[in-house]
Amino acid sequence: MIAILTLLLASFLPISAVSFATQRLQAIANCMKLQGLDTLSEGQHDSLYWVRKRPVTLRVNHYGEVEHIGLLLFSKEMRQWGKTFIYDFLERDLLERNLPNITGAIKHELLYEPVFFIKGNAQTPLSFDGSEEYSEERIDYKKYRSSWSRAEDLALRITFDMDYHMMSGCNTIELEKRFMTRLQRFERHEHDTVANTLPLTEGPDIYVVEGDTFLIHEMNNELLFEHDAEGWHLADSLSYPTKSLRNMMTSLEFRGEPQLMLTLDKYGYETEQLEVPYKNWLQQCMDEGCTPYFGIKHKTQDGYDGTVLMVNRHAGYLHMLSMAITNEEMAKGGNAVLTGRLYVYIPLHNVDDIFFKERS
């Protein structure tokens, strides 16, 4: 009886009492008049709600926020290995296009979003039975092509721009707000280590783990390891100042807990300040799918100016941290305090070496 009463009361709660990760999701929930959202536990919920005889999938995050609503197209097994942000976008977009009473900003945005149906249309997924084969291609780092086939016959093909603003359903202001909220909440977790994979040796030694470059050769993520009585560890001494700085900027294995005095450069010439452990920022970006790169722009009498680029090639954006560290802080190694100015979600198609030199 208590459980039934709880559900009945939940059905009368306004949607405004429920937390949503984005304004877009709240608009969808309002349009669908979804009830009982505040009773849902953390995790993915399938088939609790339906649209045009098709099940809807919904996901609640660790903080009780609804972070996804869409047509159920991808299994939980697929999501373990695929690009969740693409699956979320396709499910949400196709749901929106099948809502009979969609109005306002969402309807306007759907008209102008660079989403093109090469085969089939927005109603085609309504007839899917789960036996369809899904495939995905990235085209010139600018577009995606998603296809569904039945018995080798193409049923639906969609191409869409690699535009994270569109895929996330957020404008710049909302993306900036979400980034800072996640950073304030962030809890670091265990990560893979490179040091354990290095060759056995005795006595002092060094080992270079070659990395990748971005835009220019100087912007890279090469790591330098030292071997001493404690074993292999990332170089963090003034004997290798620039390499130690790159280690600090691009690897979670760097010893100690450097702090970051962060200023977010926001839309509309506004700023926001936050002090966080540098590794929190680094791991949050890496959890998004970003690869870190670091380059030194200037070596001054007092220290170093450099740039960290967190590049997400799959989602089509990067975060750019212009940082500075004094020689005094460099000498502190893992106890150093960095200052940095951050720009987030810069579209990759806007980035080239001229942009980097001007903004870093």
Tokens of 330: 């460099």
Residues 33 and 110 in one domain: yes
Residues 163 and 187 in one domain: no
Residues 108 and 188 in one domain: no
Residues 268 and 162 in one domain: no
**Total structural domains in the chain?**
2
Residues 237 and 298 in one domain: yes
Residues 206 and 316 in one domain: yes
Res. 9: pLDDT tops 50: no
Residues 123 and 206 in one domain: no
Residues 52 and 39 in one domain: yes
β-pairing, 259-266 with 337-347? parallel
Q: Give the CA count within 13 Å in the CB-facing half-sphere of 50.
A: 5
Residues 299 and 154 in one domain: no
The pLDDT of residue 352 is 62
The pLDDT of residue 204 is 85
CB atoms within 10 A of CB 160: 19
Q: Which H or E run contains 267?
A: none
What is the pTM for the complete model shown? 0.90
Residues 148 and 184 in one domain: no
Residue 242 structural domain: 173-359
**Residue whose C-alpha is closest to residue 234's, from 194, 272, 200, 269:** 194
Residues 36 and 17 in one domain: yes
Tokens of 307: 């740039």
**Phi–psi pair at 267, nearest 5 degrees:** -60, 140
The pLDDT of residue 83 is 84
Residues 162 and 193 in one domain: no
Least confident of 3-12, 208-217, 257-266: 3-12
Q: What band does 354 get if pLDDT is binned at 50, 70 and 90?
A: very low
